[in-house]
Structure 1
Amino acid sequence: MAAPHTVMLQRRGHEPWGFRLQGGRDFRMELSVKKIMPGSPAEGQLHQGDVIMSIGQHRAHDLTHMQAQQLIKNAGSSLQLGIQAGANADFANIKPKGPIKFSPWRQR
């Protein structure tokens, strides 16, 4: 797993940051990135499954989902996040080779 690092996102005006958050102390889950929107400030900076270790100067471990959302929403034009690459980041670019031999959907 990659070492923790800092990501600095920049946006114009009230443009959305472009990522969806999941987890929080109230969900008993670490805060992480659920989804990235194409063409957003988060694209290329954050990845699905990245764990958010901090938002600005606040440790994310101590934050509820709502508190984290408010910090992100109120960040202004720049947002500093401490990130730990998610476990699935190492497998994000793996694609199957050859024909797919099974499908989760049964045909009738």
Structure 2
Amino acid sequence: MTAETAIIKMSRLDCTVPWGFRLQGGKDYMSPMIINRIIQGGLAEKSGLREGDFLIEILKKSTDQMSHCEAQELIMSCSNDLEMKVERTSARIWAPLIKPVAIKPDDQNGTPVKYSIAHDHGHQPWNSKSTTPFDTSVRTIFIDGPSVAKKSDETQHSKKENEEPAYLRSETLKFINESEKRNKSSFNDFSSETFM
């Protein structure tokens, strides 16, 4: 996959209008800064920013050693003009084209709307291979000497059912049982005397 670099420039007249993207990563997260989400119809989408773009520079300052908060503060400090340098791969992730195939009736009688999520055949960057089912046969594994055969799920499941539940083997339950036994024995000592 080849990578391309793009300069994204955004301008807004009002600083209450959001830039229209969500940033993820940073030095403090030990991961590169990535554009995580783009708001549909927002400034970021209109300027060509894409989900999955790696953020390389903000206002010509490298993001290599920048924390997530530092990047946010730098973006907020730029008021109405923002310039970012991003790197993106040429491969695109396929997403289904969702469109209604049946229009909801005007009378609102509860008829469901059908949607098509058919694949757009105009975009096929990969070669899809048919899948094969999982192999369910038992295999033998050699581990430093004798062979150990994997048991089927049914055998393991029935074995677990025959065992006592794990909570009955817990240290806490053992402690509670021992405390109750001690209390009963001390109670029996007192009960030998008659109180009236």
Partner of 2:7: 6
Percent identity over paired residues: 27
- Deviation for aligned residue 1:57: 2.1
Q: Aligned residue for 1:80?
A: 83
Residue of structure 1 equivalent to 2:93: 92
Distance 1:62 1:11 in 2: 28
SS of structure 1 residue aligned to 2:45 = coil
Q: Which structure 1 residue ranges, 4+ long, deviate > 3 Å from structure 2? A: 93-97
Larger fraction in strand: 1
TM-score (norm 2): 0.45
SS of alignment partner, residue 47 of structure 1: coil
Alignment equivalent of 2:23, drawn from 21, 24, 28? 21
**CA positional deviation for 1:4:** 1.2
1:22-37 correspondence runs (5 A)? 22-37=24-39
Q: CA deviation at 1:2?
A: 3.2
Summarize the Cα distance change of 1:18–1:94 in structure 2 as closer, same or farther, 3 Å threshold: closer
Unaligned runs of 5+ in 1: 98-108
- Secondary structure of 1:33 counterpart: strand
Cα distance, 1:41 vs. partner?
Answer: 0.6
Work out which of the residue numbers 70, 81, 86 in structure 2 matches 1:67. Answer: 70
Q: Distance in 2 between matches of 1:55 and 1:74?
A: 11
Q: Over the residues paired in the alignment, what is the CA RMSD in angstroms?
A: 2.4
Q: Which structure has more helix as a fraction of its residues? A: 2
TM-score by length of 1: 0.79
* Counterpart in the other structure of 1:46: 49
**Structure 1 residues 94 and 37, CA gap change in structure 2 (3 angstroms):** closer
SS of 1:71 mapped into structure 2: helix
1:94 Cα shift? 5.9
Number of aligned residue pairs: give it. 98
**Are residue 57 (structure 1) and residue 57 (structure 2) matched?**
no
Letter matched to residue 28 of structure 2? D
